[in-house]
A = this chain, B = another copy of it.
Amino acid sequence: MREIKIAILGMGTVGGGIYKLIEQESASIMHNEHIKLVVKKTLALDYSIDVPEKIKARDIDEIVNDSEIEIVAEVMGGVHPAKEFEMKCLHAGKTVVSANKDMISQNWPDLEEAAKKGGGGLYFEAAVGGGIPILRALYDSMQANTIDQVYGIVNGTTNYILTKMSGDGLDFRDALKEAQALGYAEANPTSDVEGYDARYKLSILASLAFHVRVPVEEIYCEGITGVTKLDIEIANELGYVVKLLAIGKKTANGGIEARVHPTMLKKDHALASIKGSFNAIFINGSAVGEMMWYGKGAGDLPTASALVSDMLYAANVEKHRHATFENKYDAGLAQINDNWRTKYYMRANVLDAPGVLAKIAGIFAKYDVSIESVLQRPGEGAFAPLILVTHEADEKDLRGAVDAIGEIPEVEARPAIIRVEEQEG
């Protein structure tokens, strides 16, 4: 039996989850792994659960300088001081396990370099998909595959909101309020509803899947705040559901598409049935074909499951792996392709007057976007919603067309668009 001493930075929901989980599963971990995990120190401004006073550290140095502590879990969230704390621990040779998707996705090369110098490991299974063990699978189980797609639902808050909008006919604001009341959305929901959280996760996922670094700021990002009840109703009529997807794809010319946006998916796609706060991630591998992981993307114990797993995995590793961002897990920066092709759904509020559809159709034709179907809905007052679904078109052409349509006097504002994925899955 080996005893491994750890420290936890941040004792909110997830930090408390780690503490509880280590207590709860201690006997079975000792039995199965022959390892006893001992929380020697915690560092936090607020504690979500009671811990003995004597393990509360005064500052980060008390942990960094404690040579008995082998592994540090960083679950404070935010970039500062989380980055400085992780860097100190890594430089001191400790292994760091983290759930901090925003900090890691933006500082991965620095952290990895510090880990390499210090000799400890850097693990962050919990940063993507909560309890879903997809990062380890990409490292340890998909090595024989060239992966050309990784996509999925990686934000439970927005999935909960969209599920509610769809199931109960709520509009965005009411569904968000319900999610906040139930603890599925934070008081400040920006990072979730604007897609930033999904973007951090996609940066990590796509980098690992494609062995090339896909920086956060290169990922196109659009949240769900513009999705209306009407969009979801019409999607339903057309045989689709609306999901916030994080999508990474290799393109024919060696580029990478990386984008987060609301997406219409066919109702029989496996992702269409992922409800509430669950996450699900697909890959397409050259040997394995289509694979999907499904599970809880957040919450204290699911996230702690990934963090404690990282600790036990790290404890059994003789020599930690380090992404160098030169040759391994990275062939340099990705060449981002921001002119992808999909079908598009467009909703415009137009004057109910003759000739408007002809004008709009003319603009689409000018931009080389062909129209698959048109729907008109009764409006209130002079304007009425006009809905169009296009055939596959280039993103840039579509945006050009939509900008131009927004300029017509008979159109109330720039039309809303939702991308449509026809892919089976």
A residues lining the B interface (CB < 8 Å): 21, 24-25, 28-29, 31-34, 125, 131-133, 136-137, 140-146, 211, 268, 270, 273, 285-296, 299, 301-302, 304-306, 308-309, 312-313, 318-319, 327-329, 331
Partner of A305, one of B142, B301, B302, B329: B142
Partner of A132, one of B211, B291, B306: B291
A34-B302 in contact (CB<8A): no
Query: Considering only CB atoms, which chain B residue lies closest to A132 in the complex?
Result: B291
Give the distance in Å from the alpha carbon of A144 to the alpha carbon of B309 in the complex. 6
B268-A285 in contact (CB<8A): no
B292-A305 in contact (CB<8A): no
B287-A304 in contact (CB<8A): yes
Cβ of A34: which chain B residues have Cβ within 8 Å of it?
328
Give the distance in Å from the alpha carbon of A312 to the alpha carbon of B287 in the complex. 15
Query: Considering only CB atoms, which chain B residue lies closest to A131 in the complex?
Result: B288
Give the distance in Å from the alpha carbon of A288 to the alpha carbon of B394 in the complex. 40
Beyond A145-B25, A331-B31, whether A294 also contacts B309 by CB under 8 A is: no
* Distance from A258 Cβ to chain B, minimum over Cβ atoms (Å): 20
Cβ of A144: which chain B residues have Cβ within 8 Å of it?
21, 25, 29, 304-305, 308-309, 312
Beyond A270-B273, A292-B295, whether A287 also contacts B25 by CB under 8 A is: yes
Give the distance in Å from the alpha carbon of A211 to the alpha carbon of B146 in the complex. 33
Query: Considering only CB atoms, which chain B residue lies closest to A274 in the complex?
Result: B270
A32-B143 in contact (CB<8A): yes
Contacts A28-B211, A288-B301, A292-B292 aside, 18 further interface pairs with beta carbons under 8 A come to A21-B287, A24-B286, A25-B145, A125-B141, A137-B141, A140-B309, A140-B313, A143-B313, A144-B308, A144-B309, A144-B312, A268-B273, A270-B273, A288-B296, A288-B302, A288-B305, A291-B295, A291-B296
Give the distance in Å from the alpha carbon of A270 to the alpha carbon of B308 in the complex. 28
A28-B146 in contact (CB<8A): yes
Cβ of A329: which chain B residues have Cβ within 8 Å of it?
32
Cβ of A301: which chain B residues have Cβ within 8 Å of it?
286-289
A305-B328 in contact (CB<8A): no
Partner of A140, one of B24, B140, B211, B304: B140
Give the distance in Å from the alpha carbon of A166 to the alpha carbon of B133 in the complex. 33
Beyond A288-B302, A328-B32, whether A140 also contacts B136 by CB under 8 A is: yes
* Distance from A291 Cβ to chain B, minimum over Cβ atoms (Å): 4
Give the distance in Å from the alpha carbon of A211 to the alpha carbon of B33 in the complex. 11
9 interchain pairs (CB within 8 A)?
A32-B211, A131-B288, A133-B142, A136-B137, A144-B309, A270-B294, A286-B301, A291-B293, A318-B318
B33-A143 in contact (CB<8A): yes
B31-A131 in contact (CB<8A): no
* Distance from A290 Cβ to chain B, minimum over Cβ atoms (Å): 6
A31-B312 in contact (CB<8A): no
Beyond A270-B273, A287-B21, A293-B293, whether A141 also contacts B146 by CB under 8 A is: no
A295-B289 in contact (CB<8A): yes
Give the distance in Å from the alpha carbon of A295 to the alpha carbon of B301 in the complex. 26
* Distance from A277 Cβ to chain B, minimum over Cβ atoms (Å): 11
B273-A143 in contact (CB<8A): no
* Distance from A177 Cβ to chain B, minimum over Cβ atoms (Å): 25
Cβ of A24: which chain B residues have Cβ within 8 Å of it?
286-287
* Distance from A310 Cβ to chain B, minimum over Cβ atoms (Å): 9
Query: Considering only CB atoms, which chain B residue lies closest to A141 in the complex?
Result: B133
Partner of A309, one of B142, B211, B270: B142
Cβ of A312: which chain B residues have Cβ within 8 Å of it?
143-144
* Distance from A27 Cβ to chain B, minimum over Cβ atoms (Å): 9
Give the distance in Å from the alpha carbon of A175 to the alpha carbon of B101 in the complex. 48
B293-A305 in contact (CB<8A): no
A296-B290 in contact (CB<8A): yes
Cβ of A268: which chain B residues have Cβ within 8 Å of it?
273
Cβ of A309: which chain B residues have Cβ within 8 Å of it?
140-144
Name which of A294, A313, A328, A329 has the most chain B CB atoms within 10 A of its CB: A294
Cβ of A136: which chain B residues have Cβ within 8 Å of it?
136-137, 140-141
